[in-house]
Amino acid sequence: MKTKMITLCVNGKDHRFEAPVNRTLLQALRDDLRLTETKYGCGTGECGGCTVLVDGKDSICSCLTLAVEAEGRHITTVGGMTRNGELHPIQVAFIEEGAIQCGYCTPGMIMKTASILANNPTPSEEEIRTGLEGNICRCTGYEKIVQAVQRASQMLDTSQNQKTGGLGT
């Protein structure tokens, strides 16, 4: 077994462990670090269930990233969105809009939303729909997901005016 000692920074915390070099970031998160909120869907980069945030801004598929390649980057999963036990406004928006049915796509959808809003805090509906490409909801609850992103955008806009908030890194 070819292994390597790696350090992954996940949700602001460094984890040092020995991982096989063929370990994907998704496997490392779920199996090594037991952070099971990030989901395995297709394993080929098409469904978006495994979406995580890199350096607070870019969405990537953790199923197509080797764990060793994530060294030195800040990875955020949906588990890192909460602050002091309080849900992030994006999470609140998804709940309030009822944008969750079976919930399997939700961690990926929330990380994608974080990426959309980090790059463009006030996206149009079309920009939201384009941005959500690559995240599939098999319950097909897209309307409410789009509404949740719009609501999250408004909520973050308001909270930005009150204090400097921002997305977790």
- List residues near another protein by CB under 8 A: 1-2, 4, 20-24, 27, 40, 42-46, 48, 51, 54, 58-61, 63-66, 68-69, 112, 115, 131, 133-136
What are the structure tokens assigned to 139, written together?
């319950």
* Residue 27 CB-half CA count within 13 A: 13
Query: Least separation, in Å, of the C-beta of 64 and another protein?
Result: 5
Nearer Cβ to another protein (42/95): 42
Query: Least separation, in Å, of the C-beta of 40 and another protein?
Result: 7
Strand pairing class (3-10; 74-76): parallel
**Who's near 8: CB < 8 A, 6+ residues apart?**
14, 15, 17, 25, 28, 33, 67, 70, 71, 75
Query: Least separation, in Å, of the C-beta of 162 and another protein?
Result: 29
Reduced to 3 states (helix: H, G, I; strand: E, B; else coil), residue 114 is helix
Nearer Cβ to another protein (31/86): 31
What are the structure tokens assigned to 81, written together?
């969105």
Count other C-beta atoms under 10 Å from residue 167's C-beta.
Answer: 20
Nearer Cβ to another protein (58/86): 58
Query: Least separation, in Å, of the C-beta of 46 and another protein?
Result: 6
Nearer Cβ to another protein (83/138): 138
